[in-house]
């Protein structure tokens, strides 16, 4: 397991918590499939680019740890996340089946898009 940072995301205007984002530091077998950044925006706040701006902020954390690249991943069916990731200028490396020995594999798991973001 990689060390990570976890942040809540708040609306600047209201101070209300609207989601969360995390970044894993370092690289290992699982980070290729699971990605380095995980985010979730509460449903009423989706569609406002909060995830994109969150990614831009946590990239600074990766740079502070001298990371040169990050993997960003999402399920093939998650069109919104794919658009967000592509907006960061990450490049699609492959659409992959998650291997059985990957910690988050389960029966029926969907294929994942694996993107590389060079820092």
Domains and CATH numbers, the chain: 4-118 (3.40.630.30)
Mean pLDDT of 32-46: 97
Asked if pLDDT for residue 103 goes beyond 90, the answer is no
pTM for the model stands at 0.93
Q: Angle formed by the axes of helices 79-87 and 50-64, to 10°?
A: 50
- Write out pLDDT tens, residues 42-70: 999 999 999 999 999 999 999 999 999 99
Give the C-alpha distances (Å, rounded to integers) separating 102 from 34, 64, 76.
9, 28, 17
Give 105's pLDDT tier (boundaries 50, 70, 90): confident
Mean pLDDT to the nearest integer, 15-43 = 97
């Amino acid at each position: 397991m990689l060390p990570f940072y976890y942040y809540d995301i708040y609306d600047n205007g209201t101070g209300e918590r609207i989601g969360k984002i995390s970044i894993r530091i370092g690289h290992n077998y699982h980070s290729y499939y699971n990605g380095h950044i995980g985010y979730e925006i509460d449903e009423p706040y989706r569609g406002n680019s909060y995830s994109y701006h969150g990614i831009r902020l946590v990239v600074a954390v990766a740079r502070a740890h001298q990371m040169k690249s990050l993997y960003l991943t999402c399920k093939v069916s998650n069109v919104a996340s794919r658009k967000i990731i592509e907006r960061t200028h990450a490049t699609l490396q492959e659409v992959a089946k998650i291997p059985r020995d990957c910690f988050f594999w389960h029966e029926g798991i969907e294929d994942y898009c694996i993107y590389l973001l060079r820092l």
